[in-house]
């Protein structure tokens, strides 16, 4: 079974989107952004943000990290200290908005390539597991790993096969 990765310019767009969103909207400067293999289509993490899409191809954005980094991201977006967040649901709202911004930014590059993409709303799962449908012949998936403040944020995109 051959799972393919996105075209290099689209992977670069994913990297650029991650840097731009973190720097301008979250006020965090990434230490490193690298392309990493997206071997699995099942994810278990402290925080998983999932946003589905349809259009030229259907699929999912899968953004995952630790609860600590999700809280930090949400707090910085709100110009607060992470300890000021009353509950994880506040952090989940902020993290969901990050997923929304990352996918929207990538959508611009996808559409500029002559494609169509309609985004759903983000879902944030706390201490859970997600499985996406990207294991069939013709599927595409890529991931960029962002290291920020010594922690990791993985931003993956999974296109289902064209059946």
Instruction: Please give the pLDDT value at position 135.
Output: 72
Are 61 and 152 in contact by the 8 Å Cβ rule? The answer is no
For the chain, which residues score pLDDT lower than 50? Answer: 1
Instruction: Please give the pLDDT value at position 43.
Output: 83
User: Which residues, other chains included, contact 32 with Cβ-Cβ below 8 Å and sequence gap of 6+?
Assistant: 145, 146, 147
Q: What predicted TM-score, i.e. pTM, was given to this entire model?
A: 0.92
Are 27 and 107 in contact by the 8 Å Cβ rule? The answer is no
DSSP category for residue 93: H
Please give the Cα distance from 86 to 10 (Å, whole number).
38
**First-to-final CA distance of the chain:** 14
Instruction: Please give the pLDDT value at position 2.
Output: 56
Instruction: Please give the pLDDT value at position 147.
Output: 98
DSSP helix/strand/coil, 142: strand
Angle at 53 between CA 111 and CA 125, to 5 degrees: 135
Instruction: Please give the pLDDT value at position 15.
Output: 96
- CATH number attached to the domain at 8-159: 3.40.1550.10
Nearest residue to 133 (alpha-carbon basis) of 158, 157, 154, 107: 158
Sorted by where each begins, the domain ranges of the chain are 8-159
Number of Cβ within 10 Å of residue 30's Cβ equals 18
Instruction: Please give the pLDDT value at position 3.
Output: 64
């Amino acid at each position: 079974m051959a799972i393919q990765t996105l075209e290099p310019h689209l992977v670069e767009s994913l990297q650029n989107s991650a840097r731009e969103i973190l720097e301008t909207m979250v006020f965090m400067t990434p230490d490193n952004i690298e392309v990493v293999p997206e071997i699995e289509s099942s994810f278990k993490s402290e925080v998983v943000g999932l946003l589905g899409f349809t259009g030229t191809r259907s699929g999912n954005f899968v953004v995952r990290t630790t609860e600590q980094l999700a809280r930090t991201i949400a707090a910085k977006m709100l110009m607060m200290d992470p300890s000021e967040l009353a509950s994880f649901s506040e952090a989940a709202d902020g993290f969901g908005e990050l997923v929304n911004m990352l996918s929207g930014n990538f959508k611009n590059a996808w559409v500029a390539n002559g494609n169509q993409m309609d985004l759903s709303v983000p879902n944030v799962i706390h201490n859970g597991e997600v499985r996406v449908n990207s294991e069939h012949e013709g599927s595409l998936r890529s991931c960029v790993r962002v290291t920020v403040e010594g922690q990791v944020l993985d931003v993956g995109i999974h296109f289902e096969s064209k059946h």
